[in-house]
Amino acid sequence: MKTQAQKARQTLLASAALALTLGASGAWAQDKPAVHGDTPAAAYEPSMTTLAEINVELPGRKPGDPVMTQEEFNTGKEIYFQRCAGCHGVLRKGATGKPLTPDITREHGYDYLQSFITYGSPAGMPNWGTSGELTEDEVDLMARYVMLDPPAPPEFGMPEMKESWKVLVEPKDRPTQKMNDIDITNLMSVTLRDSGQIALIDGGTYEIRAVIDTGYAVHISRMSASGRYLFVIGRDAKVNMIDLWMETPATVAEIKVGSEARSIETSKFEGWEDKYAIAGAYWPPQYVIMDGETLEPLKIVSTRGNIYDEQTYHPEPRVASILASHYNPEFIVNVKETGKILMVDYTDLKNLKTTEIEAERFLHDGGLDSTHRYFMVAANARGKVAVVDTKEDKLTALIETGGQTPHPGRGANFVHPELGPVWATSHLGDDSVALIGTDPEGHPDQAWKLVQSFYALGGGSLFIKTHPNSHHLFVDAPLNPEAEVTGSVAVFDIDTMKAGEDPEMKVLPIVEWSGITEGQPRVVQPEFNKEGTEVWFSVWNAKDKESAIVVVDDKTLELKQVIKDPRLITPTGKFNVTNTMKDIY
């Protein structure tokens, strides 16, 4: 049941949304907006830091252009790509945020833009001025900047990829057998976000076995089907291929696939294991298929095209996430802005065959159900989850999750005592957890439906997690505005869940257990060891402050280990080799 506070919060959000709808033809900003845009969902959109560093000349002055120096233009470009491009797009054509092209911004005028940037909007535009994130001078600068033609970053094609591609250790020179005593099957690849590194931590001994330089802000780690090679990709679109068989695991090949990127995967279908790797870019909007042993770029495919429902052209549809199919020799490529899921057949790159599935916007992250047949992906702008049958390559369902901005990570699969097999997602924009039935044969009446919804700690959740050997469901909330919430995780006992009733929630004070007292650390991304007996949490603090990894016993929900080391700088994502390789979540 909803608490009075939850009802009040939902009423406030609904009123704000109604006000925005009714006032769509009027001002976006208000003198005293009922709801500022400093919500967890608004805070989530990631920066495009590497694009901010590209040198672009000030556009030639045209009649009506605001006065701006090259220095001011450079500053505006950096602010835009670091704070705005994630929502409004690289070319300002709009994505989760509104378009900010000169034909629109000039019509509104400077005063309107200055107010909009200062106060934000109920729809999620952050209140950059009143929050203190931008100074008055910076607000003035950005109001003028968005009235100019947007700079277009350079493309990144085969010549640029080939120039960046390096094979540091040729396949023939690599070990023919494992040369270390690391239990690779229980190794954790931990993103050290602000140091541009990953840490490889032994899941049994908690020892850091290697710290490896990578691209900036590694987004994900993925395993080859064989479990030998670890692939990581940074937001700067740099891919590192790491050989875990070496005496000390190290990078054996690397490449840049663009200027901004988020996704990497390898081929897993029987007979094609380790044959190919694929990476998707935010800029340029494209994906590239590479040789699985060397990262040699073999084929680049643009994702520019028409939005599935409007049938209008979009110049920068970003590749959001990629998974490998277990039922066909295909990659599942999710294109954010067009709302399309591409099933890319990699058996013949010269005669590439792609099945295009119309889903929903804006496609983000997702995972497979427990059978690995059905792919579940969040269309977070529409509050839906798209379900694709990867055996038949067809859209199975579009399901409303009942929450705001679903953000599952890869989601969580478990067997509900009364509802049968389900897949779960939490949400950025509210504190709800949604359970979707995933068993069309055993529970046909509940398949591909929202079968239960209940509340966790609060909005701002990024990841939800369980394990086949666990009886618990863990939900984080690192982007919640309340420090007590960001420092804790919600836990639910799966065995006692009942249909139609809110399960009892336990709260684990992870930051308190870590012993960190400085800063405002956030707890992010539960990840299990390979046996499903421990769950690891990142205590993510500022880069100049102490961070940690906290390990909890899954059975007792008691603290088991705190891992601290000066090298653990801003740890975020953690990826267990076995769970990642076998898509266990």
Q: How far apart are CA 569 and CA 553, in angstroms?
A: 24
Amino acid present at 253: A
**242 in Cβ contact with 209 (< 8 Å):** no
Cis peptide before 317 (omega within 30 of 0): no
The three-state secondary structure class of 292 is: coil
Q: Which of these is catalytic: 48, 68, 87, 188?
A: 87
Burial environment of residue 19 by CB neighbours within 10 A (0 to 12, 13 to 18, 19 or more) = middle
Q: Which of 273, 354, 312 is nearest to 582 (CA)?
A: 273
Q: Is 88 known to be catalytic?
A: yes
Say if CB 48 and CB 280 are below 8 A apart.
Answer: no
**Catalytic-role residue among 36, 88, 427, 467:** 88
Distance of CA 131 to the CA centre of its chain: 25
Task: Compute the residue count for the chain.
Answer: 585
364 is catalytic: yes
Order of all β-strands in the sheet with 218-223: 166-167, 250-256, 238-243, 229-234, 218-223
Catalytic residue among 36, 48, 68, 125: 125
Are residues 201 and 291 in contact, defined by beta-carbon separation less than 8 angstroms?
Answer: no
Residue 301: which residues within 8 A CB-CB, separation 6 or more? 286, 287, 288, 289, 344, 352, 354
Hey, what are 505's tokens?
A: 């929630």
Asked if the peptide bond before residue 269 counts as cis, ω within 30 degrees of 0, the response is no
Phi, psi of 282 (to 5 degrees): -80, -40
Closest by CA position to 145, among listed 88, 203, 196: 88
Q: Is 87 a catalytic residue?
A: yes
Distance CA 379, CA 200 (A): 32
Contact 364, 334 (CB under 8 A): yes
Structure letter (DSSP) for residue 84: I
- Transcribe 2-39 into DSSP letters: --HHHHHHHHHHHHHHHHHHHTTTS-S--SS-SS-S-S
Rounded Cα distance, 233 and 212, in Å: 13
Q: Are 508 and 488 in contact (CB under 8 A)?
A: yes
- DSSP 8-state code for residue 476: -
Of the candidates 367, 308, 375, which has an alpha carbon nearest to the alpha carbon of residue 335?
308
Catalytic residue among 36, 48, 68, 84: 84
Distances, alpha carbon 82 to alpha carbons 15, 67, 282, 363, 552, in Å: 30, 23, 14, 21, 35
1 part of the active site: no
The answer to whether residues 230 and 221 touch, using CB atoms and an 8 Å cutoff, is yes
Active site residue 84: yes
108, 314, 372, 407: the catalytic one is 407
> Are 417 and 498 within 8 A, CB to CB?
yes
Residues known to be catalytic: 84, 87-88, 125, 364, 407
